[in-house]
Amino acid sequence: MAKNMQPIAKRCKTLGISPAVMGYAKKETKRNPGGQMRKKKSEYALQMNEKQKVKFIYGILEKQFHSYYEKAVATPGKTGDNLLILVERRLDNVVYRMGFAMTRREARQLVNHGHFTVNGKKVNIPSYLVKAGDVVEVAESSRSSTAFKRLVGENAVMFLLPAWLEREKNTLKGTVVRMPAREDIDLPIEEHLIVELYSK
């Protein structure tokens, strides 16, 4: 299976996003600290940068991203909003947003290894799209794993969840309360530029 293995800090700097967006609090790059970047970017470069940003944040490669775009076009409403809502609904992103993993990369790996169930059925496809009412839970066989033990008990870490998701403290279970809306996605993305890029 294809994976995006680019260095986090370096790529974040190139795309102009904070590593915190990726779930990394302390990553930064020392390379070229006062680097001279070209001030003015072409329209195409700006559009390309926004597309690369979304692909990098969510860990999606070009072929899959393009199929998300085609789905977004076919869905009623704003294409840019639809596109972001589709990638936000990915199971690996939901696992990350619910606080079951520290980063989306970790969430993707945990899903791949079959640690989660959706509505009681094991799902090991990171790109699985959740729906309103879906219950995402750590599989019974994985609960004793150290990766999940830190999420329950007295000192369980509390995570700030987006409004469309719900998870009770000290449980390894979360619910998709409703479909996400554009305002629920707190990422520095100008999605209209991606639509303009693909519309050419």
pLDDT above 50: residue 47: yes
CATH 3.10.290.10 domain position(s) in the chain: 91-179
Give the residue carrying structure tokens 């775009």. 69
- β-pairing verdict for 135-138 and 165-167: unpaired
Q: Contact, 9 vs 103, CB < 8 A?
A: no
Residue 37: per-residue pLDDT: 52
Domain 8-88+187-199 = CATH 1.10.1050.10: yes
Residue 34: per-residue pLDDT: 47
Sign (positive/negative) of CA torsion 77, 75, 124, 130? positive
pLDDT above 60: residue 29: no
Q: How would CATH label the architecture of 91-179? A: Roll (3.10)
Q: What is the mean pLDDT of residues 122-135?
A: 97
CATH 1.10.1050.10 domain position(s) in the chain: 8-88+187-199
> Is 152 exposed, middle or buried, given 0-12, 13-18 or 19+ CB atoms closer than 10 A?
middle
pTM of the model: 0.82
Over the stretch 54-65, which tens digit does the pLDDT of each residue have?
999 999 999 999
Q: What is the mean pLDDT of residues 99-124?
A: 96
pLDDT bracket for residue 41 (50, 70, 90): confident
Q: What is the three-class DSSP state of 137?
A: strand
In eight-state DSSP terms, residue 167 is: E
Give the residue carrying structure tokens 């294809």. 2
